[in-house]
Amino acid sequence: MTDVASPSTVTFWLPGRTEAPPETPVVLAGRQPDVGLRLQATRSADVCVRELRGGVFEVVFRTLGEPLGFTVTIPATDAAAWWRPGSTVPHATIPPSWEEPSDATALRGLPIGALLATHDVARLVYAVDAGTSVTRVRAGLVEETADFAIMVTVGASGTSDHVRLLLDASGRSFVEAVPEAGRWLQGEEGHRAAPGAEDPVLCTWYFAHQHVTAATVLAQADRAVAMGFGTVIIDDGWQTNSHERGYGSCGDWEAAEEKFPDAAGLVEALRGRGLRTVWWVGTPFLGHQAKARHLGLSTLRDRPELQAEVLDPRDPSTRAYLVGRMEEIIARTAADGLKLDFLEEFEDQEAPGSVAAAVDTMSEIVDRLRGLGTEPLIEFREPYVHPAVGRFASMIRVGDCPLNAVQNRVGILDLRLARPGTPIHSDPIMWAEGDSPERVAHHLINALLGVPQISMDLVGLPGEQSEALAFWLGVWREYRDLLLHGRLAPERPDLLYPVARVHDGGRHLVARYAPHTIKIPEGDWTELLVANADDSPPILLHEGDEVRAGLEIWDARGRQVADGDVVLGRGPSVLTVPSGGLARLRRPTTAVAEAKWGHA
């Protein structure tokens, strides 16, 4: 066994600190060669270390309700970037150790990260399970030693008397190490499965905003069914006649009769066409114009710029009111679920226990909805993706990024890696009226490895845009199991994933977002799809023996432009796939190949 912990305390400069923190070394014993991994903590006498596999350690700290601090360091050999999950998080930087820390709570962020080395190797992956306690992380390069340090402080206001830490210095690939850390962090209850959580969604927000009406929704229904949508999210606006974009109407959660005279009838009509219905709820808000404002409900703070106050989930009567309203929406309309928005607003550092109370409130809401005899669809979105609260969601969505295909892609892939097994939805995809079908296809390909949400007026789409949407939704439906449940392997997170792969057995799909070469899979693959979201044609690199395959190519509108055979020899070859198009290569079985081409 190799001791990979230094007997000395790690010290380095931090702003405003003139001496090292009172931390002592924790001994890690490993079967791997010494990679310089060191850990020190404030409560080293109350530490249990277990090696899960070579170079992967689980460390359990008993905190007994007290704050905890620990520091992890490793030499930054071959370091390329510091990765953390999130659609708005920088991916291509190595911050200095003195950079400002960031906080993760049960309602904001994920305490997981990876120091990436060259060739997409994970030099070090860490994950922290601290329940609902605030986890403050400062991570960066120590200038004096060229070590990378992760400094973590866990507050004492949470619900657990212990903190778990995972350290992976095994040197595995990023796409192996990060999902394993994500599964460790989630535990057995990663998410709550519900029917329809993996169906494409039509969301009303970007194309209707608060002008949404029952007639608007119903007008989309037949076209949505024909295109393969399974769910309609009726977003903000169903509860108000205002079009001011504020949240002054939130809190009563009653349908505006002028716009939705028969909400239950609308849900029934959509269900009759095969569509589920989800109502949007600005969960924590008590609007300035809400009738419920006169009920004496407890609030955490006022948000005048949002025209609303924030409810205090710690107050039993306030929580009972909120839970009751959520139950009433579903009971009254027979809808399939709720989009619970803005949960991060429940977090208030001036109100100890607000985060834990919000988590308990989500648990109560789901339990009450289940009591109605259904497994409800519940959508959460970034930033409240932490397992402590995320286990109540049936699907998690990328944060708002209208018309930003790259941010949608990064968010989907990050969350797929950090929350494996959870249905990850795109932010509703929108585009401009004059966009080309190729541009529409690019948006859809960027969301191909998640569950697509769309927010466009389907009946008003120009013909070419409609063709592109129908084609790519058709591709997604045909290959849904591969796309969502195959083995995901996005490349170069430090470059925002210019290429992303997924495979299941002999079936492979490669989504290409930049002018990067695509390597042909090794082994006896049977089907290879190439989705091209770049304006240049893909270059395939083949390193094995000669391969013969059938080849089909479609453009962004789904028009077939090639149907024949192709021979892939050693080396690079250009595959002429139009921008926004798709290529499909199929290798026949050995018997069929011999009959068609003879012995290779």
At residue 96, the 3 state secondary structure works out as strand
Does the bond joining 33 to the residue before it have cis omega, within 30 degrees of 0? Answer: no
**How confident is the model over 437-450, as pLDDT tens digits?**
999 999 999 999 99
The DSSP letter of residue 39 is: E
Do residues 369 and 324 make contact, with C-beta atoms less than 8 angstroms apart? no
Give exposure, 205-243, as e/b (b: 16+ Cβ within 10 Å).
Answer: bbbbebebbbebbeebbebbeebbbbbbbbbbbbbbebe
More confident call, 180 vs 44: 180
Q: What is the pLDDT of residue 158?
A: 57
Q: What is the pLDDT of residue 2?
A: 35
**How confident is the model over 131-187, as pLDDT tens digits?**
999 999 999 999 999 999 999 999 876 556 889 999 999 999 999 999 999 999 999
- In this prediction, residues 328-342 reach a mean pLDDT of 98
Q: Which amino acid is at 374?
A: T
Angle formed by the axes of helices 316-333 and 354-370, nearest 10°: 30
Rounded Cα gap, residues 231 and 341, in angstroms: 17
Residue 211's region, left for phi above 0, alpha for psi from -120 to 50, else beta, is alpha
Residue 245's region, left for phi above 0, alpha for psi from -120 to 50, else beta, is left
At residue 421, the 3 state secondary structure works out as coil
Q: Does pLDDT of 590 surpass 90?
A: no
Q: What is the pLDDT of residue 42?
A: 86
Rounded Cα gap, residues 514 and 529, in angstroms: 16
**How confident is the model over 499-522, as pLDDT tens digits?**
999 999 999 999 999 999 999 998
Rounded Cα gap, residues 343 and 284, in angstroms: 7
Closest CA to 126 of 76, 184, 68, 78: 184
Q: Does pLDDT of 591 surpass 90?
A: no
Q: Give φ, ψ of 220 to 5 degrees.
A: -85, -15
User: 255: which residues sit within 8 A by CB, 6+ positions away?
Assistant: 238, 239, 263, 333
Q: What is the DSSP string of 233-278?
A: EE-TTTT-S--SSS-TTTTS----TTT-TTHHHHHHHHHHTT-EEE
In this structure, the strands spanning 377-381 and 337-341 are parallel
Cα diameter, the chain: 83
CA 140-145-146 angle, 5° bins? 50
**How confident is the model over 47-105, as pLDDT tens digits?**
999 999 999 999 999 887 788 999 999 999 999 999 999 999 999 999 999 999 999 99
At residue 1, the 3 state secondary structure works out as coil
Q: What is the pLDDT of residue 544?
A: 86
Q: Does pLDDT of 545 surpass 90?
A: no
**How confident is the model over 407-425, as pLDDT tens digits?**
999 999 999 999 999 999 9
Question: Picking from 322-326, 473-477, 584-588, which range would have the lowest pLDDT averaged per residue?
Answer: 584-588
Do residues 133 and 104 make contact, with C-beta atoms less than 8 angstroms apart? no
Do residues 190 and 180 make contact, with C-beta atoms less than 8 angstroms apart? no
Q: What is the pLDDT of residue 82?
A: 98
The DSSP letter of residue 160 is: -
Rounded Cα gap, residues 526 and 510, in angstroms: 14
Q: Does pLDDT of 595 surpass 60?
A: no
Two tokens, residue 42: 């404030």
Q: Average pLDDT of the chain? A: 93
Q: How far is CA 256 from the centre of its chain?
A: 33
Rounded Cα gap, residues 567 and 188, in angstroms: 46
Q: Does pLDDT of 598 surpass 80?
A: no
Q: What is the pLDDT of residue 272?
A: 98
Q: What is the pLDDT of residue 448?
A: 98
pTM of structure: 0.94
